[in-house]
Structure 1
């Protein structure tokens, strides 16, 4: 085997409708090959295909310059003619990344020009430089996998309202078994969630590795809620995933629906992150059902994938925005219709529980449990102040006595956890670069300013965190 083979990650533009090119927040770099310019010089300068007067790249260029034809049929016919002693397997599954398959080694095919498009990928932070990457339009590769040699062609072209990308797998002999095994392995690997959260948005699933890393930072110790409340949430999820046999013995569907409700800023999101980490189950997160396939098509895709990944967590944030009069009936059928939803723990959140249709909020077997994340009571405000007291104990510029803990708890009646956090963060920001300032005075000033913003007063009721079944 040639020692110059590539084994580094290699990805390329998928088959997606053109709308996908404008998705916000999509990690664009995942859709491009990651090779240096030096890697491609030989392939880009290749023109002559050994043993043929006209090589595959010339045939491809000729085809693309002519009147529109059936590109799939053209490429299939052309490759069969040029490799008559090879079997040919053709796939157009954009999720399959054969060149990225673990254990694969490859190099550009001699005599075939590698035709690519170049794009600048902006950095994730402004102190980074970004990178230049190439996407494949046409290329051929010598590829080795499990001691078997393959020739793989990749072609991408405009088709209707989208881009089509196809892989053509050639194997010497007429037996397609090895090629199908290669395709099966690549397809299986591309469908794995791994160390990521599977996020659905604009009609597509995407592995979000950055979100997974953020979730790994979550810790129930940092969730300032009633100990009994936190324990109930954790036990509910843990017991569900551990009780498959019990559900089946009782003859009831092994599924669960839970709603986290209450005003914003009171711990719903951080609790979800902690649950996603502690459950150690695949997590699927839905941002929106709106897409090119329509909301019902998106719902079908979401639940089909969730059933495939079960047992898993399916997170539906802001239920009141996701579900409307037009799609509600279809959504309810997906939850408790004829399909098998075994292993699905569906966790929905809402800041406006009163807006939910009774078919969602009150009907048994859909969302069975509801946890209310209300404004923190005094004890929880004390806990939150103590949390910051511990964080700042080694800061020589901050004096945080126990008396200040009590004072903060008394002054912040009606504050959400988000407003409590803002009080501490804005205080610390105000102290940056300042001289001879007292932490307590600045903190109290910030609290009073925030009370004005939310129209607060000491006569507001003290609300606690509750849960219902």
Structure 2
């Protein structure tokens, strides 16, 4: 009131000084509108405007109280739980459950078109979604009447279920059983992207196609990697007896196209624990909230595998300290196998790359050696063995290995794929059997030129940055020197001097 009096006094002073009259008026608000009064009761426009002109109570409370009046002799149990879905529960659960629509309750439904995720799956389907409806549900030896309503509220859509029952305990048990089933997603990988976790069925299916037998790597390297994660999940008691947290951190590093992804998928397929896959820290609450949600989920799902894709781009100056606090385990991180991947290990902060307690072991996936390139050619030879139109002699194995120096596995794969596509396209115009070997080597020469062009451009772009390293080579800078005093002969491919064994 004091502020209002001061405001009026200021206006009065302005009136005196400037010579104009100010008379505050109170404007009456009239809800009646002559335009609406002149409309007929059945007019669609009046129906619409009247609805949005009316006062509104909380829909959730209104429904619950009104249903209580309709069914005065029953208990009304209400839930908006995200995981509660009687239709999904009935469709997939092994529980004895039956649902039928109550004819006496008028339903409100919307017809919707559901577009397929992939064009080859067809043209989609037309179905109905329930906005309001009533159902009789038989579960085990109990029966419930359930009324469901869905409406928009602020930025979200609300679905509220009303269980009308005489047995409060049985209804609570039904909610728990239904929600427990619907909260369990089978055959998915959980992916964190745009601030939310989502179950990814397609990624899981891609993982199921991976196999360690298809990973062409040095046998000692592959065995060491496999032994690392396999022993981790068997060693909880050993960690506890030593008084150290039961957690492990690995980094897969090296140039793209050399087996990091296929190795990661083979690992994900083998471990029998939940897999959490992180593509971005970004969320509506910033990176800090995203990081907090990611590690909270990992702790809830432990033991689990937590994968951070392109670690060098995920960690920034703004989120580094918060990320390190989460990794260091200000809260309990027991049971977490943390795996980060990067194509640019040199860009990682030393707080990540040089400290074993965060990432204990680094596994380098370099460009394949000559023997590995020959082994990769043998893998393709075995794959094409039953194709009568392909002649793949053993002599081509060595020639291919010699000509593909500095090729990644991805480049070699492209050579074989493009060769097969070329043969398929030329079959229509060539009656004679095409020479697989000559076409393969042509593709290798083509990719060699492409690779040299890419390297030239990369060297030109980075020419100004090498001086800051004092002329130090990348291997030396990253500590990959093969020092007999520090590394064993059998492990020089992947052991790094700053790791304690």
Q: TM over 0.5: same fold?
A: yes
| Residue number in structure 2 paired with 1:99 | 87
Deviation of 1:191 (Å)? 2.5
| Residue number in structure 1 paired with 2:438 | 441
Higher gyration radius (CA): 2
Work out whether 1:466 is the aligned partner of 2:494: yes
Work out whether 1:304 is the aligned partner of 2:296: yes
| Residue number in structure 2 paired with 1:211 | 203
Q: 1:393 to 1:92 in 2, by over 3 A?
A: same
Q: 1:312 to 1:305 in 2, by over 3 A?
A: same
**Matches of 2:148 and 2:160 in 1, distance apart?**
6
Question: Which secondary structure does the structure 1 equivalent of 2:368 belong to?
Answer: coil
| Residue number in structure 1 paired with 2:424 | 432
Contact 2:374–2:397 at 8 Å: present in 1 too? yes
Match of 1:112 among 101, 105, 109: 105
**Matches of 2:234 and 2:124 in 1, distance apart?**
45
Contact 1:193–1:282 at 8 Å: present in 2 too? no
Q: 1:183 to 1:279 in 2, by over 3 A?
A: same
**Matches of 1:270 and 1:336 in 2, distance apart?**
28
Contact 1:260–1:268 at 8 Å: present in 2 too? yes
**Matches of 2:160 and 2:51 in 1, distance apart?**
16
CA offsets, 1:349-390, max 9 Å, x none? 011111211222222311111101111111110111100000
Deviation of 1:88 (Å)? 2.0
**Matches of 1:118 and 1:293 in 2, distance apart?**
35
Contact 2:83–2:180 at 8 Å: present in 1 too? no
Contact 1:113–1:139 at 8 Å: present in 2 too? yes
Q: 1:465 to 1:438 in 2, by over 3 A?
A: farther
| Residue number in structure 2 paired with 1:322 | 314
CA offsets, 1:50-74, max 9 Å, x none? xxxxxxxxxxxx9899543311111
The structure showing larger relative contact order (alpha-carbon pairs under 8 Å, at least 6 residues apart) is 1
TM normalised by structure 2 equals 0.76
**Matches of 1:216 and 1:447 in 2, distance apart?**
31
CA offsets, 1:215-238, max 9 Å, x none? 122110100101111111111111
Match of 1:392 among 374, 384, 392: 384
**Matches of 1:98 and 1:295 in 2, distance apart?**
36
Contact 1:118–1:132 at 8 Å: present in 2 too? yes
Question: Which secondary structure does the structure 2 equivalent of 1:454 belong to?
Answer: helix
Q: 1:276 to 1:408 in 2, by over 3 A?
A: same
After superposing the two structures, state which structure 1 stretch, 146-155 or 71-80, moved more. 146-155
Contact 1:376–1:465 at 8 Å: present in 2 too? no
Question: Which secondary structure does the structure 2 equivalent of 1:455 belong to?
Answer: helix
| Residue number in structure 1 paired with 2:129 | 135
Whose helix proportion is higher, 1 or 2? 2
Contact 1:95–1:187 at 8 Å: present in 2 too? yes
Unaligned runs of 5+ in 1: 1-61
**Matches of 1:432 and 1:447 in 2, distance apart?**
18
Work out whether 1:231 is the aligned partner of 2:223: yes
**Matches of 1:114 and 1:465 in 2, distance apart?**
67
Match of 2:249 among 257, 260, 264: 257
Q: 1:465 to 1:381 in 2, by over 3 A?
A: farther
Question: Which secondary structure does the structure 2 equivalent of 1:399 belong to?
Answer: coil
Unaligned runs of 5+ in 2: 1-49, 456-472, 476-491
Q: How many residues are treated as equivalent by the alignment?
A: 404
Q: 1:332 to 1:116 in 2, by over 3 A?
A: farther
**Matches of 2:98 and 2:54 in 1, distance apart?**
35
**Matches of 1:456 and 1:203 in 2, distance apart?**
39
After superposing the two structures, state which structure 1 stretch, 387-396 or 335-344, moved more. 335-344
RMSD, aligned α-carbons: 2.3
**Matches of 1:296 and 1:456 in 2, distance apart?**
41
| Residue number in structure 2 paired with 1:125 | 118
Question: Which secondary structure does the structure 2 equivalent of 1:169 belong to?
Answer: strand
**Matches of 1:64 and 1:241 in 2, distance apart?**
59
After superposing the two structures, state which structure 1 stretch, 363-372 or 119-128, moved more. 119-128
| Residue number in structure 1 paired with 2:76 | 88
| Residue number in structure 1 paired with 2:449 | 452
Equivalence map 1:318-467=2 (5 Å): 318-434=310-426, 435=430, 436=432, 437-455=434-452, 466-467=494-495
Deviation of 1:465 (Å)? 5.6
Contact 1:248–1:254 at 8 Å: present in 2 too? yes
Question: Which secondary structure does the structure 2 equivalent of 1:152 belong to?
Answer: strand
Deviation of 1:178 (Å)? 1.4
TM normalised by structure 1 equals 0.81
Contact 1:385–1:405 at 8 Å: present in 2 too? yes
**Matches of 1:87 and 1:64 in 2, distance apart?**
32
| Residue number in structure 1 paired with 2:26 | none
Work out whether 1:247 is the aligned partner of 2:239: yes
Question: Which secondary structure does the structure 1 equivalent of 2:452 belong to?
Answer: coil
